[in-house]
Structure 1
Amino acid sequence: MSIDQVRDAGSIHNIRSANTCGKAWCRVQYVQTAICLTRLCCVCSSTSGHNDATWATGSANYYRLNRRCLITAGTKYLADEAGAYWLLDAAASYLLELGTSDWFVLVRLVVSDSHAVLTLEDGNGAVRASQQIPFTDFPISEQVLYACWDVDHWVLMLPSEY
Protein backbone atom coordinates (compact mmCIF):
# COMPACT_ATOMS: atom_id res chain seq x y z
CA MET A 1 0.00 0.00 0.00
CA SER A 2 1.06 3.56 -0.57
CA ILE A 3 -0.27 6.93 0.43
CA ASP A 4 -2.35 8.05 -2.52
CA GLN A 5 -3.98 11.24 -1.32
CA VAL A 6 -3.71 13.69 1.55
CA ARG A 7 -6.54 16.13 2.12
CA ASP A 8 -5.76 19.36 3.94
CA ALA A 9 -9.24 19.61 5.44
CA GLY A 10 -8.99 17.50 8.58
CA SER A 11 -5.65 15.97 7.48
CA ILE A 12 -7.26 12.75 6.31
CA HIS A 13 -4.73 10.36 4.80
CA ASN A 14 -6.17 7.86 2.32
CA ILE A 15 -4.19 4.67 1.73
CA ARG A 16 -5.44 2.72 -1.27
CA SER A 17 -4.84 -0.84 -2.33
CA ALA A 18 -5.35 -2.01 -5.89
CA ASN A 19 -8.03 -4.70 -5.40
CA THR A 20 -10.47 -4.91 -8.30
CA CYS A 21 -13.29 -7.23 -9.32
CA GLY A 22 -11.64 -7.92 -12.68
CA LYS A 23 -13.81 -5.74 -14.92
CA ALA A 24 -11.84 -3.26 -16.98
CA TRP A 25 -13.97 -0.30 -15.90
CA CYS A 26 -14.11 -1.25 -12.21
CA ARG A 27 -11.86 0.46 -9.75
CA VAL A 28 -12.74 -1.21 -6.47
CA GLN A 29 -10.45 0.16 -3.84
CA TYR A 30 -10.11 -0.05 -0.12
CA VAL A 31 -9.58 3.33 1.45
CA GLN A 32 -8.20 3.41 4.95
CA THR A 33 -8.64 6.69 6.79
CA ALA A 34 -7.56 7.53 10.29
CA ILE A 35 -10.94 6.28 11.54
CA CYS A 36 -12.19 3.41 9.40
CA LEU A 37 -11.66 1.03 6.49
CA THR A 38 -14.32 1.57 3.83
CA ARG A 39 -14.83 -0.41 0.63
CA LEU A 40 -15.32 1.79 -2.39
CA CYS A 41 -17.08 0.54 -5.47
CA CYS A 42 -19.21 2.94 -7.42
CA VAL A 43 -19.65 1.65 -10.93
CA CYS A 44 -20.02 -2.11 -10.41
CA SER A 45 -23.41 -3.67 -10.96
CA SER A 46 -24.96 -5.54 -8.08
CA THR A 47 -24.39 -8.80 -10.01
CA SER A 48 -20.64 -8.39 -9.64
CA GLY A 49 -20.98 -8.81 -5.89
CA HIS A 50 -20.32 -5.19 -4.95
CA ASN A 51 -22.68 -2.59 -3.58
CA ASP A 52 -23.57 0.27 -5.88
CA ALA A 53 -21.86 3.26 -4.32
CA THR A 54 -23.02 2.57 -0.80
CA TRP A 55 -19.71 4.01 0.37
CA ALA A 56 -20.95 7.51 -0.53
CA THR A 57 -22.91 8.64 2.51
CA GLY A 58 -22.84 12.41 2.24
CA SER A 59 -20.64 15.01 0.69
CA ALA A 60 -18.48 17.73 2.18
CA ASN A 61 -17.89 19.21 -1.28
CA TYR A 62 -20.14 20.08 -4.20
CA TYR A 63 -19.00 20.40 -7.79
CA ARG A 64 -20.63 22.80 -10.22
CA LEU A 65 -22.22 21.15 -13.24
CA ASN A 66 -23.76 24.39 -14.54
CA ARG A 67 -24.98 27.65 -13.05
CA ARG A 68 -28.06 26.03 -11.46
CA CYS A 69 -26.88 22.45 -10.82
CA LEU A 70 -24.36 21.00 -8.39
CA ILE A 71 -23.19 17.42 -7.97
CA THR A 72 -21.91 15.59 -4.92
CA ALA A 73 -18.63 13.72 -4.60
CA GLY A 74 -20.32 10.34 -5.15
CA THR A 75 -22.09 11.56 -8.29
CA LYS A 76 -18.83 13.03 -9.59
CA TYR A 77 -17.10 9.72 -8.95
CA LEU A 78 -19.84 7.88 -10.85
CA ALA A 79 -19.54 10.29 -13.80
CA ASP A 80 -15.74 10.10 -13.81
CA GLU A 81 -15.49 6.33 -13.59
CA ALA A 82 -18.40 5.41 -15.87
CA GLY A 83 -17.82 8.24 -18.37
CA ALA A 84 -21.32 9.48 -17.62
CA TYR A 85 -21.23 13.26 -17.61
CA TRP A 86 -23.74 12.99 -20.46
CA LEU A 87 -26.20 11.50 -17.95
CA LEU A 88 -25.71 14.40 -15.54
CA ASP A 89 -26.06 16.94 -18.36
CA ALA A 90 -29.27 15.33 -19.60
CA ALA A 91 -30.75 15.22 -16.09
CA ALA A 92 -29.73 18.84 -15.44
CA SER A 93 -31.33 20.07 -18.65
CA TYR A 94 -34.64 18.44 -17.69
CA LEU A 95 -34.40 19.77 -14.14
CA LEU A 96 -34.04 23.31 -15.47
CA GLU A 97 -37.10 22.81 -17.69
CA LEU A 98 -39.19 21.30 -14.87
CA GLY A 99 -38.57 24.26 -12.60
CA THR A 100 -38.67 24.22 -8.83
CA SER A 101 -42.32 23.54 -8.00
CA ASP A 102 -41.19 20.18 -6.53
CA TRP A 103 -38.04 20.20 -4.41
CA PHE A 104 -37.34 16.50 -5.08
CA VAL A 105 -36.95 14.63 -8.39
CA LEU A 106 -35.89 11.01 -8.86
CA VAL A 107 -33.67 10.50 -11.93
CA ARG A 108 -33.67 6.93 -13.26
CA LEU A 109 -31.59 5.46 -16.09
CA VAL A 110 -32.55 1.94 -17.21
CA VAL A 111 -30.11 0.31 -19.65
CA SER A 112 -31.06 -2.60 -21.90
CA ASP A 113 -28.48 -3.94 -24.34
CA SER A 114 -26.90 -0.77 -25.74
CA HIS A 115 -29.85 1.60 -25.36
CA ALA A 116 -31.49 3.22 -22.35
CA VAL A 117 -34.45 5.18 -21.04
CA LEU A 118 -33.93 8.22 -18.85
CA THR A 119 -36.92 9.22 -16.71
CA LEU A 120 -37.43 11.96 -14.16
CA GLU A 121 -40.08 11.12 -11.59
CA ASP A 122 -41.66 12.92 -8.65
CA GLY A 123 -40.60 10.18 -6.23
CA ASN A 124 -44.08 8.65 -6.14
CA GLY A 125 -43.89 7.02 -9.57
CA ALA A 126 -45.35 9.87 -11.65
CA VAL A 127 -43.11 10.50 -14.67
CA ARG A 128 -42.39 14.19 -15.27
CA ALA A 129 -40.01 13.73 -18.23
CA SER A 130 -38.65 10.84 -20.27
CA GLN A 131 -36.05 10.37 -23.01
CA GLN A 132 -34.99 7.41 -25.12
CA ILE A 133 -31.20 7.06 -25.37
CA PRO A 134 -30.45 5.25 -28.66
CA PHE A 135 -26.92 4.18 -27.66
CA THR A 136 -25.02 3.95 -24.40
CA ASP A 137 -22.12 2.00 -22.96
CA PHE A 138 -23.15 2.80 -19.39
CA PRO A 139 -21.95 -0.19 -17.33
CA ILE A 140 -24.88 -0.47 -14.89
CA SER A 141 -28.30 -1.83 -15.85
CA GLU A 142 -30.15 0.68 -13.65
CA GLN A 143 -28.89 3.82 -11.94
CA VAL A 144 -30.95 6.08 -9.71
CA LEU A 145 -29.96 9.61 -8.72
CA TYR A 146 -31.80 12.04 -6.49
CA ALA A 147 -32.12 15.72 -7.35
CA CYS A 148 -32.99 18.11 -4.54
CA TRP A 149 -33.65 21.84 -4.79
CA ASP A 150 -31.72 23.79 -2.13
CA VAL A 151 -33.32 27.20 -2.82
CA ASP A 152 -30.53 28.24 -5.22
CA HIS A 153 -29.43 25.04 -7.01
CA TRP A 154 -30.45 21.55 -7.97
CA VAL A 155 -28.11 19.09 -6.25
CA LEU A 156 -27.69 15.71 -7.98
CA MET A 157 -26.68 12.96 -5.58
CA LEU A 158 -26.54 9.20 -5.16
CA PRO A 159 -29.37 7.77 -3.05
CA SER A 160 -26.90 6.88 -0.29
CA GLU A 161 -25.91 10.57 -0.08
CA TYR A 162 -29.47 11.77 0.59
Structure 2
Amino acid sequence: MGTLTKDNLQQFTGDLERYRHPLNRKVIYTPGVRYVAEEGEAFWLIDAIASWIGSEEFNDAASKDYRIGEMHFWTLETSWSKAGQLTARADSPEKPFIIQNIEFTDFPLRKIDIWAGFDGEHWTLYLPSEH
Protein backbone atom coordinates (compact mmCIF):
# COMPACT_ATOMS: atom_id res chain seq x y z
CA MET A 1 0.00 0.00 0.00
CA GLY A 2 1.20 3.50 -0.81
CA THR A 3 1.66 6.42 1.51
CA LEU A 4 -1.69 8.17 1.31
CA THR A 5 -2.04 11.05 3.77
CA LYS A 6 -4.30 14.09 3.95
CA ASP A 7 -1.24 16.29 3.47
CA ASN A 8 -0.13 14.73 0.19
CA LEU A 9 -3.62 15.21 -1.25
CA GLN A 10 -3.14 18.98 -1.08
CA GLN A 11 -0.72 18.79 -4.04
CA PHE A 12 -3.72 18.29 -6.32
CA THR A 13 -5.14 21.68 -7.29
CA GLY A 14 -6.87 20.89 -10.56
CA ASP A 15 -5.88 20.36 -14.15
CA LEU A 16 -7.52 19.21 -17.36
CA GLU A 17 -6.44 15.55 -17.32
CA ARG A 18 -9.29 13.06 -16.79
CA TYR A 19 -9.73 9.30 -16.58
CA ARG A 20 -12.92 7.57 -17.71
CA HIS A 21 -14.58 4.96 -15.54
CA PRO A 22 -14.68 1.67 -17.47
CA LEU A 23 -18.26 0.69 -16.54
CA ASN A 24 -20.13 3.96 -16.03
CA ARG A 25 -18.89 5.90 -19.05
CA LYS A 26 -20.60 9.07 -17.80
CA VAL A 27 -18.15 9.17 -14.88
CA ILE A 28 -14.68 10.68 -15.26
CA TYR A 29 -12.20 11.49 -12.53
CA THR A 30 -9.21 13.68 -11.88
CA PRO A 31 -5.56 12.84 -11.18
CA GLY A 32 -6.22 13.49 -7.49
CA VAL A 33 -8.95 10.86 -7.32
CA ARG A 34 -6.75 8.48 -9.31
CA TYR A 35 -3.95 9.09 -6.81
CA VAL A 36 -6.31 8.20 -3.94
CA ALA A 37 -7.27 4.99 -5.76
CA GLU A 38 -3.67 4.03 -6.49
CA GLU A 39 -2.01 4.99 -3.20
CA GLY A 40 -4.95 3.85 -1.06
CA GLU A 41 -5.55 0.71 -3.13
CA ALA A 42 -9.09 1.97 -3.49
CA PHE A 43 -10.25 1.73 -7.07
CA TRP A 44 -13.24 0.08 -5.39
CA LEU A 45 -14.15 3.52 -4.01
CA ILE A 46 -14.41 5.01 -7.52
CA ASP A 47 -16.38 1.92 -8.57
CA ALA A 48 -18.79 2.33 -5.65
CA ILE A 49 -19.47 6.00 -6.44
CA ALA A 50 -19.79 5.30 -10.17
CA SER A 51 -22.25 2.48 -9.48
CA TRP A 52 -24.53 4.82 -7.53
CA ILE A 53 -24.49 7.66 -10.09
CA GLY A 54 -27.45 7.08 -12.38
CA SER A 55 -28.96 4.39 -10.15
CA GLU A 56 -32.64 4.37 -9.26
CA GLU A 57 -31.89 5.73 -5.76
CA PHE A 58 -29.70 8.47 -7.22
CA ASN A 59 -32.24 9.50 -9.87
CA ASP A 60 -35.05 9.50 -7.30
CA ALA A 61 -33.06 11.81 -5.00
CA ALA A 62 -32.11 14.07 -7.93
CA SER A 63 -35.77 14.37 -8.95
CA LYS A 64 -36.55 15.72 -5.46
CA ASP A 65 -33.52 18.04 -5.14
CA TYR A 66 -32.19 19.68 -8.31
CA ARG A 67 -28.79 20.32 -6.68
CA ILE A 68 -27.98 16.60 -6.75
CA GLY A 69 -28.20 16.60 -10.54
CA GLU A 70 -25.61 19.39 -10.72
CA MET A 71 -23.23 18.67 -7.86
CA HIS A 72 -23.13 16.50 -4.77
CA PHE A 73 -20.64 15.37 -2.15
CA TRP A 74 -19.38 11.88 -1.25
CA THR A 75 -17.69 11.02 2.03
CA LEU A 76 -16.00 7.80 3.04
CA GLU A 77 -15.50 7.43 6.77
CA THR A 78 -13.69 4.46 8.26
CA SER A 79 -13.33 3.20 11.79
CA TRP A 80 -10.54 1.52 13.70
CA SER A 81 -12.55 -1.72 13.40
CA LYS A 82 -11.94 -1.56 9.61
CA ALA A 83 -15.59 -0.92 8.78
CA GLY A 84 -16.64 2.05 6.72
CA GLN A 85 -19.54 4.05 5.45
CA LEU A 86 -19.86 5.82 2.11
CA THR A 87 -22.45 8.61 1.95
CA ALA A 88 -23.62 11.14 -0.62
CA ARG A 89 -25.20 14.46 0.26
CA ALA A 90 -26.69 17.35 -1.70
CA ASP A 91 -24.78 19.61 0.69
CA SER A 92 -23.55 19.47 4.23
CA PRO A 93 -25.00 19.18 6.86
CA GLU A 94 -28.01 17.67 5.12
CA LYS A 95 -28.97 14.04 5.50
CA PRO A 96 -27.34 11.68 3.00
CA PHE A 97 -29.43 10.54 0.06
CA ILE A 98 -27.19 7.47 -0.33
CA ILE A 99 -25.64 5.41 2.46
CA GLN A 100 -23.52 2.36 1.76
CA ASN A 101 -22.12 0.43 4.71
CA ILE A 102 -18.79 -1.22 4.01
CA GLU A 103 -18.13 -4.31 6.06
CA PHE A 104 -14.34 -4.20 5.73
CA THR A 105 -11.81 -1.77 4.32
CA ASP A 106 -8.13 -1.20 4.87
CA PHE A 107 -8.36 2.29 3.37
CA PRO A 108 -5.59 4.27 5.12
CA LEU A 109 -7.52 7.48 5.90
CA ARG A 110 -10.28 7.85 8.48
CA LYS A 111 -12.17 10.23 6.19
CA ILE A 112 -12.03 11.40 2.60
CA ASP A 113 -14.31 13.66 0.61
CA ILE A 114 -14.85 13.32 -3.13
CA TRP A 115 -17.00 15.86 -4.91
CA ALA A 116 -19.03 15.14 -8.05
CA GLY A 117 -19.96 17.83 -10.56
CA PHE A 118 -21.97 17.46 -13.76
CA ASP A 119 -20.87 19.35 -16.87
CA GLY A 120 -23.91 18.46 -18.98
CA GLU A 121 -22.26 15.31 -20.34
CA HIS A 122 -20.06 13.74 -17.63
CA TRP A 123 -19.89 13.46 -13.88
CA THR A 124 -16.42 14.51 -12.77
CA LEU A 125 -15.18 13.11 -9.46
CA TYR A 126 -12.57 15.32 -7.83
CA LEU A 127 -10.93 16.19 -4.54
CA PRO A 128 -11.99 19.39 -2.75
CA SER A 129 -8.49 20.81 -3.34
CA GLU A 130 -9.07 20.38 -7.09
CA HIS A 131 -12.20 22.60 -7.08
**TM-score, with normalisation over the residues of structure 1?**
0.68
Runs of at least 5 residues in structure 1 that lack an aligned partner in the other structure: 1-23, 27-42, 46-50
CA change 1:52–1:106 in 2 (3 A) is farther
Aligned to 1:90: 48
Equivalent position SS for 1:136: coil
Normalized per residue, the structure richer in helix is 2
Alignment size in residue pairs: 118
Q: Report matched runs for 1:5-154 at 5 Å.
A: 25-26=2-3, 43-45=4-6, 51-65=7-21, 66-97=24-55, 98-99=58-59, 101=66, 102=68, 103-113=70-80, 114-126=82-94, 127-154=96-123
- Do 1:59 and 1:74's aligned partners in 2 also have CA atoms closer than 8 Å? no
Matched residue type, 1:62: R
- Could you say which structure has the larger radius of gyration? 1
Question: CA 1:120 to 1:52, structure 2 compared with 1: closer, same or farther past 3 Å?
Answer: farther
Deviation at 1:52, TM superposition (A): 4.7
| Deviation >6 Å, runs of 4+ | none
Unaligned stretches of 5+ residues in structure 2? none
What TM-score do the two structures reach when normalised by structure 2?
0.84
Identical residues among aligned pairs (%): 32
The structure showing larger relative contact order (alpha-carbon pairs under 8 Å, at least 6 residues apart) is: 2
Residue 11 of structure 2 aligns to which amino acid in structure 1?
A: W
